[in-house]
């Protein structure tokens, strides 16, 4: 049976503002054992493997997933299981994007190549957009990945604030008199 990521914890909460009015927001409990997506374009795979090997002891404590070839290379480099998705151009980036939307990715290490055009550039942009939409941290280069993995939050629980999309989801809800104007 293929390796699967653990289910996300249930979102939590609302708080009070200064006037004691309830502000509804949700937070996703991110456990100490993170679900990490690793992605690298072809000209950045060597850089990601070097970084991963250097950080092996930290990475193997977490659940790892990766796009196609990158996942196979990581398994060999780290000598640990990695959930391997499709190759990026064959839908792997979109699979990671879906996992983000489902709350199944806690952060992303994505060494992308800014100097090479990619046949799946729209998928890459969509993946990065979803990470921003759902407030998922992303490291796009080695320095940022170093900062993220050395953060005290890396091995502790964390409440990741989720955006409030209620207004967006209800943007077509009209009062009866407003609906009449549209007819």
**Active site members:** 93
Antiparallel, parallel or unpaired: β 107-111 and 138-139: parallel
Distance of CA 128 to the CA centre of its chain: 8
Q: Which residues fall within 8 angstroms of residue 48, CB to CB, at 6 or more apart?
A: 38, 40, 70, 74, 109, 111
∠ CA 170-174-175, rounded to 5°: 135
Tokens of 128: 């990065």
Q: DSSP characters for 88-114? A: GGGTHHHHHHHHHHTT--SEEEEE--T
């Amino acid at each position: 049976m293929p390796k699967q990521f653990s289910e996300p914890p249930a979102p939590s909460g609302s708080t009070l503002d200064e006037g004691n009015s309830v502000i509804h927001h949700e937070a996703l409990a991110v456990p100490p054992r993170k679900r990490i997506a690793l992605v690298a374009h072809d000209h950045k795979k060597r850089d990601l493997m070097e970084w991963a090997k250097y950080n092996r002891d930290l990475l193997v404590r977490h659940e790892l997933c990766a796009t196609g070839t990158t996942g196979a290379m990581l398994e060999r480099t780290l000598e640990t299981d990695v959930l391997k998705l499709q190759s990026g151009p064959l839908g792997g980036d979109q699979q990671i994007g879906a996992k983000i939307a489902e709350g199944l990715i806690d952060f992303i290490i994505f060494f992308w190549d800014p100097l090479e055009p990619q046949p799946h550039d729209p998928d890459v942009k969509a993946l990065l957009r979803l990470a921003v939409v759902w407030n998922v941290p992303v490291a796009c280069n080695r320095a940022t990945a170093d900062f993220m993995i050395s953060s005290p939050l890396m091995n502790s629980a964390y409440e990741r604030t989720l955006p409030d999309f209620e207004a967006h989801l209800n943007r077509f809800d009209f009062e009866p008199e407003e609906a009449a104007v549209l007819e």
